[in-house]
Amino acid sequence: EPEVTQTPSHQVTQMGQEVILRCVPISNHLYFYWYRQILGQKVEFLVSFYNNEISEKSEIFDDQFSVERPDGSNFTLKIRSTKLEDSAMYFCASSRTGGVSQPQHFGDGTRLSIL
């Protein structure tokens, strides 16, 4: 069964450095999402992306964050200058369409640790 894949599985970075988290959504999916989960807390929405532009973003997704679909398969999340509080699991998800009955399929996440 097709799945969403994320790399790396674990990223350790010094505070203030830039990080890029990578995702390969399911190939025929058109809507892409990033969520994060701080340890012990609920999964939180960051941003959704469709037709090469952001369709919605949360208040967490400030100017330090950006997303890009650089080619036909990858979907990336960049954090420009990381902070300690950015430490979390970051999940990429995709859905075939944006319709209400279309489920979002999640990758296994990237654990981001900021030192």
Partner 1 sequence: TQLLEQSPQFLSIQEGENLTVYCNSSSVFSSLQWYRQEPGEGPVLLVTVVTGGEVKKLKRLTFQFGDARKDSSLHITAAQPGDTGLYLCAGGRGDYGGSQGNLIFGKGTKLSVKP
CA distance 36 to 94: 14
Residue 72 binding partner 1, by CB under 8 A: no
| 8 vs 16, beta carbon nearer partner 1 | 8
Three-class SS state of 85: helix
Q: Say which residues have a Cβ less than 8 Å from residue 42's Cβ, sequence separation at least 6.
A: none
Smallest distance, partner 1 to C-beta of residue 74, A: 17
| 15 vs 67, beta carbon nearer partner 1 | 67
CA distance 109 to 50: 20
| 12 vs 15, beta carbon nearer partner 1 | 12
- Residue 34's region, left for phi above 0, alpha for psi from -120 to 50, else beta, is beta
Specify the stretch interacting with partner 1 by CB under 8 A; choose among 11-19, 64-72, 75-83, 92-100: 92-100
Q: Which of 21, 95, 112, 114 binds partner 1 (CB under 8 A)?
A: 95
CA-based nearest residue to 32, from 2, 53, 10, 8: 53
The site for partner 1 (CB under 8 A) is made up of 4, 6, 33, 35, 41-45, 48, 56, 58, 91, 93, 95, 98-109
